[in-house]
Amino acid sequence: MKNRVAIVGAGMTLFRRRMLESPKELSFEATRMALDSAGLELKDIQSVVSGSAPDAFDGVHMKGEYLLDGMGGIGKPNQRVYVGGGTGVFTPIGGWWNVASGMYDTCLCVAEEKMSPLHPHPQYAFWSIFDQILERPLGTTLLWIFSLEMRRYMHKYGITEEEIASVAVKNKGNAVDHPCAQLGAKITVDDVMNSEPICWPVKRLDVSPPSDGAAAVVLASEKVAKKLTDQPVWLDGVGWTLDTTHWTNRDLAYPEYVEKAAWMAYKMARIKKPRKEIDIAEVYDPFDYKELHHMEGLQLAGKGEAPKMAVDGVTQRDGDLPVCPSGGLLGVGNPIAAAGMMKICEVFWQLRGEAGKRQVKKDARTGLAQAWGDLMQVGTVAVMRS
């Protein structure tokens, strides 16, 4: 690598079910906040990476180009990355290429999602990610791959729905302290268990909501970062892998592609024992079981052992390994690409000790953000250090 890469600013909008702002306006607000927090103007930015997940949500094709103005991309080298739910963490990975390669000293990374335009429900857009010949005729909904995976995960390790529900309780509770959160609430395991069965074993409170929102970070080379701030957060490891779309041919109990992405990032960051060396983790949690499933793929828990850590309080903000101190997708909301970027922002604020009421109890020096997506096949991982 030619340059060590730092995050020097972060910003995000409110996450809500439906926002008045257009996709470009949302992008502008998050980008402007990230620039302001870095003490930079657009003229200081050399390249831009944009992230947005399925175009079908807003019905705007080639959204990378459409969003350009709001993302500060006019007349600059610009690229869009696009790996479904994994996009939010893949966007700063794309920015990392720009800066680590020595091509640029500054790069703006912006992720936006507006899911509300699609009626009757944004879920409808996911229908078209399934195989058009063999799967769609069966009446698919995206929820199926989650409910089928959750059931297999429970079966393999003897995990209960109650253990899984404890993650929803934690994350929605954490989100009460997040000013942009859509679904912060103090709830109980019974509330989750008694919520509407949508796609059993998935119940309504096991699932994150559809949302609108945007989030952004500014990346800088070591040379520039040290001039801008005495608190850079280093992007020391990045990793990403994809598995096949033949998802029914895969071991659904374990996300191997997440493990591969994690080891790629850990090796780069010289991490040998992730469970000991990672202080906080923003693990991807579109569903409560996914946080546990991903913790195992990330080597933060042994196979089948993450549920016990959640139940024992290890992953609470005051625990030994705080997971999703932001409130995660379950609590803050899930504007797909922006949700992954929100996790990068949260680790940035946590590692700088700026997270206010959300600040974890332990002295956090090394953090991780992870996202996941497509036809449950992509893992994107970023390791960050203060």
Partner 1 sequence: MELSQKITSYPGHEITPEDMKEGKYLDVVYKFEPKYSWAAGVAISRFLAELKEGRIIARKCMNCERILVPPRMYCERCFRPTDEWVQIKDTGTINTYSISHVGTDARRLKIPILVAVVDLDGATLGMGILHNLGEVEPSKIKVGMRVRGVWKSSSERQGAITDIRYFKPIGEE
Q: Give the whole-angstrom CA distance, residue 109 versus residue 30.
A: 10
| DSSP letters spanning 69-113 | TTTT-TTS-EEEE--GGGHHHHHHHHHHHHHHTTS-SEEEEEEEE
Binding mask 204-233 for partner 1 (x = CB under 8 A): ---------x--------------------
Nearer to partner 1, 104 or 130 (CB): 130
The residue range among 31-39, 107-115, 288-296, 374-382 that interacts with partner 1, by the rule CB under 8 A, is: 31-39
Quick check: bond before 201 cis, omega within 30?
A: yes
Binding mask 81-120 for partner 1 (x = CB under 8 A): -----------------------------------x---x
Q: Both tokens of residue 98?
A: 């720009």
Neighbours of 101 (CB within 10 A): 12
Give yes or no for residue 38 binding partner 1 (CB under 8 A): no
CB of 374 to partner 1, least distance (A): 15
CB of 322 to partner 1, least distance (A): 17
CB of 97 to partner 1, least distance (A): 26
Give yes or no for residue 39 binding partner 1 (CB under 8 A): no
Number of residues that bind partner 1 (CB under 8 A): 67
Among residues 116, 89, 99, 106, the alpha carbon closest in space to that of 45 is found at 106
Q: Give the whole-angstrom CA distance, residue 60 versus residue 62.
A: 7
Binding mask 6-25 for partner 1 (x = CB under 8 A): ----xxxxx-xxxxxx----
Is there a contact between 153 and 159 (Cβ–Cβ < 8 Å)?
yes
| DSSP letters spanning 205-235 | GGBPPB-EEEEEEEEEEHHHHHHH-S--EEE
Give yes or no for residue 137 binding partner 1 (CB under 8 A): yes
Q: Give the whole-angstrom CA distance, residue 231 versus residue 362.
A: 18
How many degrees, rounded to 5, is the angle at CA 229 between CA 333 and CA 177?
A: 25
Nearer to partner 1, 62 or 133 (CB): 133
Give yes or no for residue 4 binding partner 1 (CB under 8 A): no
156: helix, strand or coil:
helix
Q: Sheet harboring 5-12: ordered strands across?
A: 78-81, 47-51, 106-114, 212-221, 5-12, 233-242, 378-385, 366-373, 280-282
Long-range contacts of residues 200-205, Cβ cutoff 8 Å, at least 24 apart: 200/147, 201/147, 201/150, 201/151, 201/154, 201/161, 202/143, 202/146, 202/147, 202/150, 202/287, 203/161, 205/165, 205/168, 205/172
Among 3, 8, 29, 105, binds partner 1 (CB under 8 A): 29
Residue found under tokens 């828990």: 301
Give yes or no for residue 37 binding partner 1 (CB under 8 A): yes
Give yes or no for residue 26 binding partner 1 (CB under 8 A): yes
Q: Give the whole-angstrom CA distance, residue 148 versus residue 145.
A: 5
Span 235-274, contacts to partner 1 by CB under 8 A: 244, 246, 248-252
Nearer to partner 1, 268 or 345 (CB): 345
Q: What's CA 52's distance to the chain center, in Å?
A: 12
CB of 139 to partner 1, least distance (A): 6
The residue range among 99-107, 282-290, 350-358, 374-382 that interacts with partner 1, by the rule CB under 8 A, is: 350-358
Binding mask 144-173 for partner 1 (x = CB under 8 A): x--xxx-xx--x------------------
Give yes or no for residue 338 binding partner 1 (CB under 8 A): no
Q: Give the whole-angstrom CA distance, residue 246 versus residue 192.
A: 31
CB of 35 to partner 1, least distance (A): 12
Among 1, 121, 160, 226, binds partner 1 (CB under 8 A): 121
The residue range among 107-115, 178-186, 291-299, 309-317 that interacts with partner 1, by the rule CB under 8 A, is: 178-186
* Chain residues that interact with partner 1, rule: CB under 8 A: 10-14, 16-21, 26, 29-30, 32-33, 37, 59, 116, 120-121, 123-124, 127, 131-135, 137-141, 143-144, 147-149, 151-152, 155, 177-180, 196-202, 213, 244, 246, 248-252, 349, 352, 354-357
